[in-house]
A and B are shown apart, each in its own frame.
Chain A
Amino acid sequence: MADPAPFINWSLLALSPPGWGSVLLSGLINSIQIAIGGYSLGLLLGVGGAFGKLYGGPILRDLLECYTTIVRAVPELVLILLLYYAGTDLINQFMGLAGLPAVDISGLAAGIFVIGVVQGAYSTEVLRGAIKAVPSGQIEAARAFGMSPVKVMTRITLPAMLPYAIPGLSNLWLIATKDTALLAVVGFSELTLVTRQAAGTTKAYLLFFCAAGVLYLALTLVSNVFISIIERRARRGLAEAA
């Protein structure tokens, strides 16, 4: 093998323009924004979905079952395409009905929407399991003290289910960060797509894909540190699991 130096041209990763470092970093920031937005939207949907599945009527329960089943059985890539086109289309039809001109939906909003819908189905399942794990005596005690259902939820059910939900939710966060890569397929310039563009322009494919891999890995490892801190906090006062 020849001298390896020509294969690795580190200056390509420089932050200022001939280098592509700043492009990669802005892609990473886009990815993180979408992950945070999608994850938050997914959590909202998940809380609603979990309460609907546990306490809703039979029809609501069945509809939610359809939602979680379909999302968990169809590839994310297909869902992202469907939701991306359907979502933007629906909004524009709605605008048309309201007599307003069609809007250009930003890629960021569309990305957050599709990741959120996918994450919602998973967090519905995670939260449902966690709520079911809360000892029913605690909820009965809260009711016996005369708390309204909303108060029972905010003061007892949600805080008490956290230790059970956190492993699943942290998992979901890691999935959300990696699912953002799929938005590259619909042309949103997140980390994976800008990496591919940078690699295609400079022909330094291995260098850029490895650099992006390091960024994703760093995101995961940093997230893991925060997750363990949060988990320790949520579990305080509980007996250590063996």
Chain B
Amino acid sequence: MTSPAPETTHALAFTPEDLPTAESFFQPHRILLMAIFATLVVYVSWSMRWDWLPQYLPKLGWGIVVTLAMLFSTSILGFLLAVPLGLVQVTGPWPLKAFAKTFCTIIRGTPLLLQLWLLYYGLGSLFPQFPAIRSSFLWPYLRESWPYGVAALTISFAAYEGEVMRGAFAGVPAGELEAARAFGMSRWTVFRRIWLPRAIHRALPTLTGETVLQLKSTPLVATITVLDVYAIISKVRQDTFLTYEPLLLLALIYLCLTGILVLAFRKLENRIPTRGA
């Protein structure tokens, strides 16, 4: 029942089932609640200070772009890493299997913030000691902070998603693979045409949750001076000495981003035909 590594967190993530449907909105008590909520919003926007907003709006827009760039680049890179990680755990020779298992356990057993700081402060302080690295073409990038953020988020996503893909690969019915082989497909063709698409199909609902979790991890990169939307809000807080207003706006921004992300995944899932269900 329990695997040695902790189970993934997908059951806890925000997924398409959590979005309300349009028709469920208009029940009497909901209309009342929404009216109360609207008054609250109006009260908040009247009583709190929002005069800083126009000045920082362009920066905030840029911060959102950075956050989304972080999210998509690390999710895609992490997924590309997760496919081999999952695959070798199902079929691979034991050294690869053990390596993938250890990698997933270590990454999932330590906090992302620690991994991020390990890469940025640890490796970042080590690299300048090697003249070979300092003279290489990579140095202009290694001096920046975002490569460390991308690396840490990618590794983390790969480890969590690697476990998911392991389950997805193992869960593809053996009969389908046998049928493909009976048609004379080579191993690579079986993998490309049957195994991988079926595994992704099975993992898609979980993938939504993991991507939302990844979005929720992106503000951590602000702690290593990447200027994402969280970092911009922190700057606003320092400049204006306001505590709540910027943070409330930030929470609202992330709520909207999550909602849009989940809606997009729901559209994607609906495009894939499923029988029954």
Q: Counting CB contacts under 8 A, is B73 at the interface?
A: no
Q: Which residues from B are CB-within-8-Å of A209?
A: 114, 117-118, 121-122
Per-position 1/0 for A178-213, Cβ under 8 A of B? 111110110000001001100110010110011011
Q: Which residues from B are CB-within-8-Å of A20?
A: none
Distance in angstroms between the alpha carbons of A227 and B4 in the assembled complex = 10
Q: Which residues from B are CB-within-8-Å of A129?
A: 11
Q: Counting CB contacts under 8 A, is A167 at the interface?
A: yes
Q: Which residues from A are CB-within-8-Å of B118?
A: 205-206, 209-210, 213
Contact yes or no, B29 A70, CB < 8 A: no
Q: Which of A69, A77, A228 contacts B230 (CB 8 A)?
A: A77
Q: Which of B4, B130, B212, B255 contacts A224 (CB 8 A)?
A: B4
Contact yes or no, B9 A213, CB < 8 A: no
User: Restricting to A40-59, which residues have a CB under 8 Å from any CB of B?
Assistant: 58-59
Q: Counting CB contacts under 8 A, is B145 at the interface?
A: no
Distance in angstroms between the alpha carbons of A122 and B216 in the assembled complex = 15
Which residue from chain A places its CB closest to the CB of B121 in the assembled complex? A205
Contact yes or no, A231 B13, CB < 8 A: no
- Smallest Cβ distance from A226 to chain B, in angstroms? 11
Contact yes or no, A205 B122, CB < 8 A: yes
- Smallest Cβ distance from B197 to chain A, in angstroms? 26
Contact yes or no, A241 B11, CB < 8 A: no
Distance in angstroms between the alpha carbons of A227 and B2 in the assembled complex = 9
How many chain-A residues does the 8 Å CB contact rule pick out?
62
Contact yes or no, A171 B12, CB < 8 A: yes
Q: Which of B11, B111, B122, B126 contacts A192 (CB 8 A)?
A: B111
Contact yes or no, A171 B121, CB < 8 A: no
Contact yes or no, A73 B259, CB < 8 A: yes
Q: Counting CB contacts under 8 A, is A75 at the interface?
A: yes
Q: Which of B1, B14, B109 contacts A231 (CB 8 A)?
A: B1
How many chain-B residues does the 8 Å CB contact rule pick out?
55
Main secondary structure of the interface of B (DSSP, over half): helix
Q: Chain A CB within 10 Å — which of B113, B115, B250, B255 has the most?
A: B113
Which residue from chain B places its CB closest to the CB of A1 in the assembled complex? B130
Distance in angstroms between the alpha carbons of A228 and B7 in the assembled complex = 12
Q: Which residues from B are CB-within-8-Å of A58?
A: 27, 29
- Smallest Cβ distance from B99 to chain A, in angstroms? 16
Contact yes or no, B123 A184, CB < 8 A: no
Q: Which residues from B are CB-within-8-Å of A1?
A: 130
Q: Which of B5, B13, B30 contacts A72 (CB 8 A)?
A: B13
Contact yes or no, A171 B33, CB < 8 A: no
Q: Counting CB contacts under 8 A, is A113 at the interface?
A: no
Per-position 1/0 for B239-250, Cβ under 8 A of A? 000011001101
- Smallest Cβ distance from A187 to chain B, in angstroms? 12
Q: Counting CB contacts under 8 A, is B154 at the interface?
A: no
Say whether, besides A62-B33, A196-B117, A227-B2, A181 and B111 are in contact (CB < 8 Å): yes
List, sorted by A's number, 24 A–B pairs whose CB atoms are closer than 8 Å.
Answer: A58-B29, A73-B14, A75-B216, A75-B219, A75-B254, A85-B244, A122-B12, A126-B11, A167-B7, A171-B7, A171-B8, A174-B6, A178-B112, A181-B113, A205-B126, A206-B123, A209-B118, A210-B118, A213-B110, A213-B114, A216-B110, A217-B106, A220-B110, A241-B1
* Chain A residues near B (Cβ < 8 Å): 1, 7, 58-59, 62-63, 69-70, 72-79, 81-82, 85-86, 89, 122, 125-126, 129, 167-168, 170-172, 174-175, 178-182, 184-185, 192, 195-196, 199-200, 203, 205-206, 209-210, 212-213, 216-217, 220-221, 224, 227-228, 231, 235, 240-241
